Protein backbone atom coordinates (compact mmCIF):
# COMPACT_ATOMS: atom_id res chain seq x y z
CA UNK A 1 0.00 0.00 0.00
CA UNK A 2 2.83 2.34 0.96
CA UNK A 3 4.67 1.32 -2.16
CA UNK A 4 1.66 2.08 -4.35
CA UNK A 5 1.21 5.41 -2.64
CA UNK A 6 4.84 6.25 -3.09
CA UNK A 7 4.82 5.30 -6.74
CA UNK A 8 1.58 7.12 -7.29
CA UNK A 9 2.94 10.22 -5.63
CA UNK A 10 6.16 10.12 -7.59
CA UNK A 11 4.24 9.66 -10.83
CA UNK A 12 1.97 12.55 -9.95
CA UNK A 13 4.89 14.82 -9.10
CA UNK A 14 6.64 13.79 -12.29
CA UNK A 15 3.51 14.60 -14.24
CA UNK A 16 3.28 18.02 -12.60
CA UNK A 17 6.95 18.63 -13.39
CA UNK A 18 6.41 17.68 -17.02
CA UNK A 19 3.35 19.90 -17.29
CA UNK A 20 5.22 22.86 -15.83
CA UNK A 21 8.19 22.27 -18.10
CA UNK A 22 5.96 21.98 -21.18
CA UNK A 23 4.04 25.09 -20.18
CA UNK A 24 7.28 27.01 -19.70
CA UNK A 25 8.61 25.75 -23.02
CA UNK A 26 5.36 26.70 -24.80
CA UNK A 27 5.51 30.27 -23.39
CA UNK A 28 9.16 30.54 -24.35
CA UNK A 29 8.53 29.27 -27.86
CA UNK A 30 5.54 31.60 -28.24
CA UNK A 31 7.64 34.61 -27.21
CA UNK A 32 10.47 33.57 -29.46
CA UNK A 33 8.14 33.08 -32.44
CA UNK A 34 6.61 36.51 -31.95
CA UNK A 35 10.08 38.07 -32.11
CA UNK A 36 11.32 36.09 -35.13
CA UNK A 37 10.60 36.83 -38.76
CA UNK A 38 8.64 34.22 -40.67
CA UNK A 39 10.84 31.94 -42.79
CA UNK A 40 10.76 32.57 -46.55
CA UNK A 41 8.52 30.49 -48.78
CA UNK A 42 11.22 28.70 -50.73
CA UNK A 43 8.99 28.09 -53.76
CA UNK A 44 8.86 31.90 -54.00
CA UNK A 45 12.37 32.78 -52.83
CA UNK A 46 14.02 30.00 -54.83
CA UNK A 47 11.52 29.22 -57.59
CA UNK A 48 11.90 26.10 -59.69
CA UNK A 49 12.94 26.39 -63.31
CA UNK A 50 9.49 25.22 -64.32
CA UNK A 51 6.97 27.19 -62.29
CA UNK A 52 4.45 27.42 -59.50
CA UNK A 53 0.95 26.16 -60.30
CA UNK A 54 -2.36 26.84 -58.58
CA UNK A 55 -4.68 23.96 -59.52
CA UNK A 56 -8.41 24.33 -58.86
CA UNK A 57 -10.07 20.97 -59.47
CA UNK A 58 -12.04 18.21 -57.81
CA UNK A 59 -10.51 15.76 -55.32
CA UNK A 60 -11.33 12.20 -54.31
CA UNK A 61 -10.02 10.32 -51.30
CA UNK A 62 -9.74 7.13 -53.34
CA UNK A 63 -8.79 7.02 -57.00
CA UNK A 64 -7.28 9.45 -59.46
CA UNK A 65 -9.42 12.20 -60.94
CA UNK A 66 -9.14 15.99 -60.82
CA UNK A 67 -6.32 17.19 -58.60
CA UNK A 68 -5.45 13.61 -57.66
CA UNK A 69 -4.74 13.00 -61.34
CA UNK A 70 -2.98 16.30 -62.05
CA UNK A 71 -0.89 17.36 -59.06
CA UNK A 72 1.48 14.39 -58.78
CA UNK A 73 2.44 14.34 -62.50
CA UNK A 74 3.18 18.06 -62.43
CA UNK A 75 5.33 17.59 -59.35
CA UNK A 76 7.20 14.79 -61.11
CA UNK A 77 7.87 17.24 -63.96
CA UNK A 78 9.40 19.70 -61.48
CA UNK A 79 6.55 22.07 -60.65
CA UNK A 80 5.51 23.38 -57.26
CA UNK A 81 1.75 22.77 -57.20
CA UNK A 82 -0.76 24.22 -54.74
CA UNK A 83 -4.13 22.45 -55.04
CA UNK A 84 -7.52 23.89 -54.17
CA UNK A 85 -10.13 21.12 -54.11
CA UNK A 86 -13.41 22.30 -55.60
CA UNK A 87 -15.04 19.15 -54.22
CA UNK A 88 -13.89 16.60 -51.67
CA UNK A 89 -15.55 13.27 -52.36
CA UNK A 90 -14.91 9.78 -51.07
CA UNK A 91 -14.57 8.48 -54.63
CA UNK A 92 -15.57 9.54 -58.13
CA UNK A 93 -19.23 9.66 -59.07
CA UNK A 94 -19.06 6.57 -61.28
CA UNK A 95 -19.32 4.37 -58.18
CA UNK A 96 -22.75 3.30 -56.88
CA UNK A 97 -22.50 5.96 -54.17
CA UNK A 98 -20.23 8.73 -52.97
CA UNK A 99 -20.04 11.08 -49.99
CA UNK A 100 -18.38 14.42 -49.47
CA UNK A 101 -18.55 18.18 -49.73
CA UNK A 102 -18.59 20.85 -52.42
CA UNK A 103 -16.62 24.08 -52.12
CA UNK A 104 -18.67 27.18 -52.90
CA UNK A 105 -17.49 30.40 -54.50
CA UNK A 106 -17.17 32.31 -51.24
CA UNK A 107 -15.08 29.54 -49.70
CA UNK A 108 -12.79 29.62 -52.74
CA UNK A 109 -12.42 33.38 -52.35
CA UNK A 110 -11.65 32.98 -48.64
CA UNK A 111 -8.73 30.70 -49.53
CA UNK A 112 -7.45 33.20 -52.09
CA UNK A 113 -7.78 35.93 -49.45
CA UNK A 114 -5.70 33.90 -47.00
CA UNK A 115 -2.96 33.47 -49.59
CA UNK A 116 -3.06 37.16 -50.45
CA UNK A 117 -2.85 38.22 -46.81
CA UNK A 118 0.45 36.36 -46.52
CA UNK A 119 1.88 37.49 -49.89
CA UNK A 120 1.54 33.99 -51.34
CA UNK A 121 -0.37 34.78 -54.52
CA UNK A 122 2.49 34.71 -57.01
CA UNK A 123 1.86 31.87 -59.49
CA UNK A 124 3.22 31.24 -62.96
CA UNK A 125 0.27 29.02 -63.93
CA UNK A 126 -3.38 28.52 -63.09
CA UNK A 127 -4.96 25.17 -63.98
CA UNK A 128 -8.70 24.53 -63.82
CA UNK A 129 -10.78 21.45 -64.58
CA UNK A 130 -14.33 20.38 -63.73
CA UNK A 131 -16.48 23.20 -62.35
CA UNK A 132 -20.11 22.44 -61.58
CA UNK A 133 -21.83 25.81 -61.17
CA UNK A 134 -21.98 29.24 -62.78
CA UNK A 135 -21.34 30.99 -59.46
CA UNK A 136 -18.13 29.02 -58.87
CA UNK A 137 -16.94 29.58 -62.45
CA UNK A 138 -17.53 33.32 -62.11
CA UNK A 139 -15.48 33.29 -58.92
CA UNK A 140 -12.70 31.46 -60.78
CA UNK A 141 -12.69 34.34 -63.27
CA UNK A 142 -12.14 36.70 -60.33
CA UNK A 143 -9.23 34.49 -59.27
CA UNK A 144 -7.72 34.81 -62.76
CA UNK A 145 -7.95 38.60 -62.51
CA UNK A 146 -6.48 38.59 -58.99
CA UNK A 147 -3.54 36.35 -59.96
CA UNK A 148 -2.77 38.46 -63.03
CA UNK A 149 -2.71 41.59 -60.88
CA UNK A 150 0.22 39.95 -59.08
CA UNK A 151 1.81 38.31 -62.15
CA UNK A 152 0.61 39.78 -65.46
CA UNK A 153 2.38 36.93 -67.29
CA UNK A 154 0.31 34.21 -65.62
CA UNK A 155 -0.47 31.31 -67.94
CA UNK A 156 -4.05 30.09 -67.53
CA UNK A 157 -4.58 26.51 -68.73
CA UNK A 158 -8.28 25.64 -68.87
CA UNK A 159 -9.84 22.25 -69.43
CA UNK A 160 -13.44 23.33 -70.14
CA UNK A 161 -15.10 20.20 -68.79
CA UNK A 162 -18.71 20.28 -69.97
CA UNK A 163 -19.55 16.95 -71.55
CA UNK A 164 -18.63 14.29 -74.08
CA UNK A 165 -20.09 12.45 -77.06
CA UNK A 166 -22.96 14.91 -77.47
CA UNK A 167 -24.02 14.84 -73.81
CA UNK A 168 -23.71 17.69 -71.32
CA UNK A 169 -22.91 16.82 -67.72
CA UNK A 170 -22.87 20.38 -66.38
CA UNK A 171 -25.73 22.93 -66.24
CA UNK A 172 -26.38 24.35 -69.71
CA UNK A 173 -25.86 27.94 -68.58
CA UNK A 174 -22.19 27.16 -67.93
CA UNK A 175 -21.58 26.87 -71.68
CA UNK A 176 -22.13 30.55 -72.39
CA UNK A 177 -19.93 31.57 -69.44
CA UNK A 178 -17.11 29.44 -70.79
CA UNK A 179 -17.62 30.74 -74.32
CA UNK A 180 -18.04 34.43 -73.49
CA UNK A 181 -15.90 34.92 -70.39
CA UNK A 182 -13.41 32.08 -69.90
CA UNK A 183 -12.14 31.54 -73.46
CA UNK A 184 -11.05 35.21 -73.82
CA UNK A 185 -8.81 35.04 -70.71
CA UNK A 186 -7.37 31.53 -71.20
CA UNK A 187 -3.83 31.00 -72.46
CA UNK A 188 -4.40 27.37 -73.42
CA UNK A 189 -7.62 25.41 -73.92
CA UNK A 190 -7.88 21.61 -73.93
CA UNK A 191 -11.47 20.72 -74.95
CA UNK A 192 -12.59 17.40 -76.33
CA UNK A 193 -14.52 17.25 -79.60
CA UNK A 194 -17.96 17.96 -78.11
CA UNK A 195 -16.64 20.80 -75.93
CA UNK A 196 -14.88 22.38 -78.92
CA UNK A 197 -18.19 22.27 -80.79
CA UNK A 198 -19.96 23.97 -77.88
CA UNK A 199 -17.33 26.69 -77.53
CA UNK A 200 -17.32 27.49 -81.24
CA UNK A 201 -21.08 27.10 -81.76
CA UNK A 202 -20.39 24.23 -84.15
CA UNK A 203 -22.62 21.82 -82.22
CA UNK A 204 -25.33 22.18 -84.85
CA UNK A 205 -22.96 20.85 -87.54
CA UNK A 206 -20.54 18.62 -85.67
CA UNK A 207 -16.79 18.56 -86.20
CA UNK A 208 -16.69 15.74 -88.72
CA UNK A 209 -13.35 16.25 -90.46
CA UNK A 210 -9.81 17.37 -89.76
CA UNK A 211 -10.59 20.60 -91.57
CA UNK A 212 -13.48 21.22 -89.15
CA UNK A 213 -11.16 20.56 -86.21
CA UNK A 214 -8.58 23.01 -87.50
CA UNK A 215 -11.27 25.63 -88.11
CA UNK A 216 -12.55 25.18 -84.56
CA UNK A 217 -9.02 25.93 -83.33
CA UNK A 218 -8.94 29.08 -85.48
CA UNK A 219 -12.25 30.28 -84.04
CA UNK A 220 -10.93 29.77 -80.50
CA UNK A 221 -7.67 31.57 -81.30
CA UNK A 222 -9.67 34.55 -82.52
CA UNK A 223 -11.52 34.61 -79.21
CA UNK A 224 -8.41 34.52 -77.01
CA UNK A 225 -6.05 31.59 -76.33
CA UNK A 226 -2.83 31.24 -78.31
CA UNK A 227 -2.71 27.49 -77.72
CA UNK A 228 -5.57 25.06 -78.35
CA UNK A 229 -5.43 21.28 -78.12
CA UNK A 230 -8.57 19.33 -79.01
CA UNK A 231 -7.59 16.25 -77.08
CA UNK A 232 -9.80 13.73 -78.88
CA UNK A 233 -11.67 13.88 -82.17
CA UNK A 234 -13.42 10.83 -83.58
CA UNK A 235 -13.41 11.01 -87.39
CA UNK A 236 -14.55 8.03 -89.44
CA UNK A 237 -13.67 5.66 -86.63
CA UNK A 238 -10.19 7.16 -86.14
CA UNK A 239 -9.18 8.96 -82.95
CA UNK A 240 -7.09 12.11 -83.36
CA UNK A 241 -5.62 14.91 -81.29
CA UNK A 242 -5.47 18.23 -83.12
CA UNK A 243 -3.23 20.98 -81.77
CA UNK A 244 -2.83 24.59 -82.81
CA UNK A 245 -0.42 27.32 -81.72
CA UNK A 246 -0.88 30.90 -82.89
CA UNK A 247 2.40 32.56 -81.99
CA UNK A 248 1.30 35.98 -83.26
CA UNK A 249 -1.76 37.50 -84.90
CA UNK A 250 0.09 38.34 -88.11
CA UNK A 251 0.69 34.71 -89.07
CA UNK A 252 -1.55 31.64 -89.31
CA UNK A 253 -1.29 29.15 -86.45
CA UNK A 254 1.02 26.16 -86.58
CA UNK A 255 -1.26 23.11 -86.55
CA UNK A 256 -0.69 19.38 -86.22
CA UNK A 257 -2.38 16.08 -85.48
CA UNK A 258 -1.48 12.95 -83.57
CA UNK A 259 -3.22 9.67 -84.36
CA UNK A 260 -4.22 7.95 -81.12
CA UNK A 261 -4.98 4.23 -80.82
CA UNK A 262 -8.40 3.24 -79.53
CA UNK A 263 -8.30 1.16 -76.36
CA UNK A 264 -11.34 -1.03 -75.63
CA UNK A 265 -11.91 0.33 -72.13
CA UNK A 266 -13.12 3.43 -70.28
CA UNK A 267 -10.73 5.14 -67.88
CA UNK A 268 -11.37 7.86 -65.30
CA UNK A 269 -9.12 10.87 -64.81
CA UNK A 270 -7.45 10.74 -68.22
CA UNK A 271 -8.62 14.19 -69.33
CA UNK A 272 -7.34 15.75 -66.09
CA UNK A 273 -4.02 13.98 -66.51
CA UNK A 274 -3.70 14.94 -70.19
CA UNK A 275 -4.24 18.63 -69.47
CA UNK A 276 -1.68 18.54 -66.65
CA UNK A 277 0.86 16.87 -68.95
CA UNK A 278 0.19 19.43 -71.68
CA UNK A 279 0.77 22.24 -69.18
CA UNK A 280 3.94 20.60 -67.94
CA UNK A 281 5.53 19.89 -71.31
CA UNK A 282 4.33 23.02 -73.15
CA UNK A 283 6.04 25.16 -70.53
CA UNK A 284 9.27 23.23 -71.10
CA UNK A 285 8.85 23.60 -74.89
CA UNK A 286 7.04 26.95 -75.17
CA UNK A 287 7.58 27.31 -78.91
CA UNK A 288 6.95 23.65 -79.79
CA UNK A 289 3.40 22.68 -78.86
CA UNK A 290 3.68 19.65 -81.15
CA UNK A 291 6.67 18.37 -79.15
CA UNK A 292 4.80 18.92 -75.88
CA UNK A 293 1.78 17.03 -77.23
CA UNK A 294 3.97 14.13 -78.41
CA UNK A 295 5.41 13.76 -74.91
CA UNK A 296 2.01 14.11 -73.23
CA UNK A 297 0.35 11.54 -75.49
CA UNK A 298 3.28 9.12 -75.14
CA UNK A 299 3.08 9.34 -71.34
CA UNK A 300 -0.67 8.91 -71.24
CA UNK A 301 -0.77 5.97 -73.62
CA UNK A 302 1.97 4.12 -71.70
CA UNK A 303 -0.01 4.66 -68.49
CA UNK A 304 -3.24 3.41 -70.07
CA UNK A 305 -1.57 0.29 -71.41
CA UNK A 306 -0.16 -0.45 -67.96
CA UNK A 307 -3.56 0.13 -66.38
CA UNK A 308 -5.26 -2.20 -68.84
CA UNK A 309 -2.58 -4.88 -68.40
CA UNK A 310 -2.82 -4.76 -64.60
CA UNK A 311 -6.60 -5.10 -64.59
CA UNK A 312 -6.38 -8.08 -66.91
CA UNK A 313 -3.64 -9.61 -64.77
CA UNK A 314 -5.98 -9.30 -61.79
CA UNK A 315 -8.63 -11.23 -63.75
CA UNK A 316 -10.96 -8.26 -64.25
CA UNK A 317 -13.02 -7.65 -67.39
CA UNK A 318 -11.75 -4.26 -68.51
CA UNK A 319 -14.94 -3.48 -70.41
CA UNK A 320 -17.35 -4.09 -67.53
CA UNK A 321 -16.82 -0.73 -65.78
CA UNK A 322 -14.57 2.34 -65.65
CA UNK A 323 -10.95 1.74 -64.68
CA UNK A 324 -8.90 3.68 -62.13
CA UNK A 325 -5.60 4.69 -63.74
CA UNK A 326 -2.28 3.32 -62.44
CA UNK A 327 -0.71 6.70 -61.80
CA UNK A 328 1.89 5.82 -59.15
CA UNK A 329 3.05 2.74 -61.04
CA UNK A 330 3.58 4.86 -64.18
CA UNK A 331 5.69 7.66 -62.77
CA UNK A 332 8.73 6.77 -64.89
CA UNK A 333 6.55 7.12 -67.99
CA UNK A 334 5.50 10.56 -66.77
CA UNK A 335 8.96 11.82 -65.84
CA UNK A 336 10.85 10.34 -68.80
CA UNK A 337 8.39 9.21 -71.49
CA UNK A 338 9.54 7.21 -74.48
CA UNK A 339 8.52 9.17 -77.53
CA UNK A 340 6.24 6.62 -79.19
CA UNK A 341 3.78 9.04 -80.82
CA UNK A 342 4.74 11.62 -83.41
CA UNK A 343 2.89 14.72 -84.58
CA UNK A 344 2.13 15.27 -88.26
CA UNK A 345 2.23 18.97 -89.09
CA UNK A 346 -0.34 20.48 -91.39
CA UNK A 347 1.03 22.64 -94.18
- What is residue 2's predicted lDDT score, i.e. its pLDDT? 39
pLDDT at 201: 85
Domain count, the chain: 1
Report the largest interatomic distance among the alpha carbons of the chain, rounded to a whole angstrom: 97
pLDDT class of 205 with cuts at 50, 70, 90? low
CA distance 286 to 49: 13
**Distance of alpha carbon 100 from the chain centroid:** 20
Is 66 part of a structural domain of the chain? Answer: no
Task: Report which of 90, 82, 94, 81 is spatially closest to residue 59, judged by C-alpha positions.
Answer: 90
Residue 203 has a pLDDT of: 54
For the cut 90, the answer to whether the pLDDT of residue 110 exceeds it is yes
pLDDT band at 261 (very low <50, low <70, confident <90, very high): very high
Higher pLDDT, 37 or 33: 37
In a domain, 24, yes or no: no
pTM value is 0.87
Q: Quick one: which of 214, 203, 224, 135 has its CA closest to 173?
A: 135
Using pLDDT thresholds of 50, 70 and 90, give the confidence band for residue 22.
Answer: very low
What pLDDT was estimated at residue 25?
Answer: 43
272 is catalytic: yes
More confidently predicted of 23 and 124: 124
Using the predicted structure, report yes or no on whether residue 5 has a pLDDT greater than 80.
no
Highest mean pLDDT among 7-21, 92-106, 117-131: 117-131
CATH number, domain with residue 205: 3.40.1190.20
Q: In the 8-state DSSP scheme, what is residue 107?
A: H
| Residues in Cβ contact with 285 at an 8 Å cutoff, skipping those fewer than 6 apart | 291, 292
Q: For 70-100, write each residue's pLDDT tens digit.
A: 999 999 999 999 999 999 889 888 888 989 8
pLDDT digits (tens, 9 = 90+) for 147-189: 999 999 999 999 999 999 899 989 999 999 999 999 999 999 9
Helix (H) or strand (E) holding 113: helix 105-117
| pLDDT of amino acid 3 | 41
Mean pLDDT over each residue of the chain, to the nearest integer: 89
Cα–Cα distance for residue pair 99/101, rounded to 1 Å = 7
5 in any annotated domain: no
Residue of 272, 287, 290, 332 with catalytic role:
272
Query: What is the pLDDT at residue 35?
Result: 61
Q: Which residue range forms the structural domain that includes residue 251?
A: 42-58+71-345
What pLDDT sits at residue 321?
81
Kindly state whether residue 65 falls inside one of the protein's structural domains.
no
**265 is a domain residue:** yes
Name which of 131, 178, 185 is nearest 155 in CA terms.
185
Return the percentage of the chain with pLDDT > 70, whole number.
88
Confidence of residue 202 (pLDDT cuts 50, 70, 90): low
- Let me know if residue 152 belongs to a domain: yes
Check: CB of residue 78 under 8 Å from CB of residue 283: no
Amino acid sequence: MLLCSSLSGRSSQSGIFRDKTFSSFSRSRSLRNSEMASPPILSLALPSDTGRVLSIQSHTVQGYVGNKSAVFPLQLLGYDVDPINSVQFSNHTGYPTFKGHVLNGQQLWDLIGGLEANDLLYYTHLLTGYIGSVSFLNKVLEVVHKLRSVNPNLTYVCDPVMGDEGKLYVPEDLVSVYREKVVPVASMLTPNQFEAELLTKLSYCRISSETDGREACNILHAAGPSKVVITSINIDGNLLLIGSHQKDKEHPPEQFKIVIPKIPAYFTGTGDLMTALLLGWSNKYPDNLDKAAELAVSSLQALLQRTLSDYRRAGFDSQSSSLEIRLIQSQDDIRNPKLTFKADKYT
